Amino acid sequence: MTYDPGRRRADVGGGRQPALRSDFREPLRAQRDPLADAGGRVRSNRDDHQRWRKQSWLGRFVSTYGWRAYALPILAVITVLVVYQAVTGTTAPPTPVNAEGPVQGPPTIGATGTGIVGAPPKGMTQFDANLPTGILPEGGPFTETGAKTWHVVPGTTPKIGQGTTKSFTYTVEVEDGVDTTSMGGDEAFARMVSETLANPKSWTHNPQIAFTRVDDPTQTPDFRVSLTSPMTVREGCGYDIPLEASCYNPAYLGDQSRVFINEARWVRGAVPFQGDIGSYRQYVINHEVGHAIGYQKHEPCADNGALAPIMMQQTFSTSNDDDARFDPQSVQADGKTCRFNSWPYPIA
């Protein structure tokens, strides 16, 4: 076909124009909602309103507030409980203080009696005095025999602890004739006693108990913590089992409530403490004072490998099998062995 410019112009001039789509001359219409149902029905607020009216009041509440619908009732309940506890003074029961450490409880505070507490049981003539853990370790010198009289070491402390049940007074005393020079003098002994009893891991962790150190010779204390020679200890504590020990005698010489601390042990310690003299001294103070404030019985090792209870006779052994040999009334042989421990509340 031959191109004819004249014809092209004629076609244009004659009105033959390309056809235009009619929808260009009509208003534009929105496409249907692609999320509408299969029939192509357009969403409408009217439908939503109808669904809203068909919902229960609970459904409308959840639709409106979302996660808050669950949180609000819980907060309301908590608020009511807090208000109730504030008005009535009721709360969850407190954790007993005795659950915080290996210590028996509660103490029999104010118990009366004249029996020596902590003394070896009588009648055990077949006891093996060579119990390996009970022997006195090698070490420094000590005074074999003192004068059987004591002098009060000067010094006082303020009240330590709450003492809701009992506030104990005590003196620190040294037997006349005992030479304390090698251990720092009388004051060093007294300081160890006072600082041990003031430690938060000691007995005043229990709010029932408080201690005050006094030194007035005209005042009768609740008990006397007394550094004493081994021969005098044997008189005050007994020596049915031939091992060096300490004890509490509530009626020594009739009217003295005396905590006997054996000087031989103070100087040399005990085998179960593996040469840790400081920890042993803290132990023997806490243990014997424990008897003085009302813990009358000894305890066995409760769990193998755990810290020993402070009222266990750790001077002799931390093994129940050993302890059962000299205190069968309190301890049964069961193979359990604890680790030495100096404190009533070691995790305080």
Token digits for 302?
Answer: 């409760």
Q: Are 166 and 109 in contact (CB under 8 A)?
A: yes
pLDDT in tens, the chain (348 residues): 444 444 444 444 444 444 444 444 444 444 444 444 444 455 555 555 555 455 666 566 556 666 555 556 666 656 555 444 444 444 433 334 344 455 556 677 766 565 676 665 554 445 566 678 889 999 999 999 999 999 999 999 999 999 999 999 999 999 999 999 999 999 999 999 999 999 999 999 999 999 999 999 888 999 999 999 999 999 999 887 788 999 999 999 888 999 999 999 999 999 999 999 999 999 999 999 999 999 988 899 999 999 999 999 999 999 999 888 877 877 899 999 999 999 999 986
CA 164 to chain centre: 20
Check residue 66 and give its pLDDT. Answer: 63
Q: Are 240 and 123 in contact (CB under 8 A)?
A: yes
Check residue 70 and give its pLDDT. Answer: 56
Check residue 3 and give its pLDDT. Answer: 47
**What is the pairing mode between strands 247-252 and 256-262?**
antiparallel
Report how far residue 16's alpha carbon sits from residue 74's, in angstroms, rounded to the nearest whole number.
80
- Contacts (Cβ under 8 Å, ≥6 apart) of 23: none
Report how far residue 172's alpha carbon sits from residue 191's, in angstroms, rounded to the nearest whole number.
9
Residue 223 pairs in a beta bridge with 170
Give domain limits for the chain: 33-92, 99-326
pTM over cut 0.75: no
| Alpha helices by DSSP H, the chain | 5-13, 45-54, 57-65, 68-88, 186-198, 230-237, 263-268, 277-293, 320-326
Check residue 47 and give its pLDDT. Answer: 54
Report how far residue 147's alpha carbon sits from residue 168's, in angstroms, rounded to the nearest whole number.
27
